């Protein structure tokens, strides 16, 4: 099992915050944790791909600007939003930009490590959920294709659902492919035949 603290030390962090006491405190603590980090201000238009985690002061920033800055990478970073106060508009902004964790200003050393760990964990769970959801959708799509192909065979050949499935499976084995591929071929052939009938 990986050590979450050691994993943080392998990250390249970016602090996007005006240069003040909070920024200095934050950078000192990130340095103590052992991360490589850089500092930028104001919020840049694009985020270099080398950064795995971003601390960003969202005070007086637009959601559109922040989303453009954070979301332009193929591999989005973990995001820790830094806020000076809590009100509905700030909370809405945090949700809209998809922040994974929050730090309050003035930033203190206590809380930086936990915000980083929470951000990384939350993002990893999001990515895992997204991957699982994609697989599930693909599986459901494949099941639907096989069902559609079965009904085409049942209609054209006057056979049962079980016989139609066995036919698809036998073809898949004979051609050394998947039942989904055979099902797609049947659906494509039906579409071509239907179009020929229309013309």
Model confidence over 22-65: pLDDT tens digits?
Answer: 999 999 999 999 999 999 999 988 898 899 999 999 998 999 99
Q: Confidence band (pLDDT; 50, 70, 90) for 199? A: very low
User: What span, in angstroms and rounded, lies between the C-alpha atoms of 78 and 7?
Assistant: 13
Mean pLDDT of the residues in the chain? 91
Q: Which run of H or of E encompasses 171?
A: helix 161-174
- Across 110-138, average pLDDT: 94
Q: Is the pLDDT of residue 72 over 80?
A: no
- Across 123-136, average pLDDT: 94
- Across 139-151, average pLDDT: 96
Residue owning tokens 């065979």: 153
User: What span, in angstroms and rounded, lies between the C-alpha atoms of 181 and 172?
Assistant: 8
Q: Confidence band (pLDDT; 50, 70, 90) for 1? A: low
User: What span, in angstroms and rounded, lies between the C-alpha atoms of 120 and 142?
Assistant: 33
Q: Is the pLDDT of residue 3 over 80?
A: no
Strand-pairing partners, residue 172, are: none
In the chain the first and final C-alpha atoms are separated, in Å, by 63
């Amino acid at each position: 099992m990986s050590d979450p603290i050691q994993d943080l030390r392998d990250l390249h962090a970016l602090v996007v915050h005006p240069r003040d006491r909070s920024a200095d405190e934050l950078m000192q603590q990130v340095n103590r944790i052992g991360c490589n980090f850089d500092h930028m201000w104001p919020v840049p238009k694009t985020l270099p791909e080398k950064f795995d985690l971003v601390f960003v002061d969202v005070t007086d920033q637009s959601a559109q600007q922040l989303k453009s800055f954070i979301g332009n990478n193929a591999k989005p970073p973990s995001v820790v939003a830094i806020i000076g106060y809590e009100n509905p508009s700030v909370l809405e902004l945090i949700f809209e930009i998809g922040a994974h964790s929050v730090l309050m200003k003035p930033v203190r050393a206590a809380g930086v490590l936990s915000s980083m760990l929470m951000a990384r964990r939350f993002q990893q769970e999001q990515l895992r959920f997204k991957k699982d959801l994609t697989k599930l959708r693909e599986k459901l799509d494949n099941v639907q294709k096989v069902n559609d192909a079965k009904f085409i065979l049942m209609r054209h050949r006057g056979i049962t659902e079980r016989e139609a499935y066995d036919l698809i499976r036998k073809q898949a084995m004979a051609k050394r492919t998947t039942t989904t591929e055979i099902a797609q071929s049947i659906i494509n052939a039906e579409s071509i035949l239907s179009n020929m009938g229309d013309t």
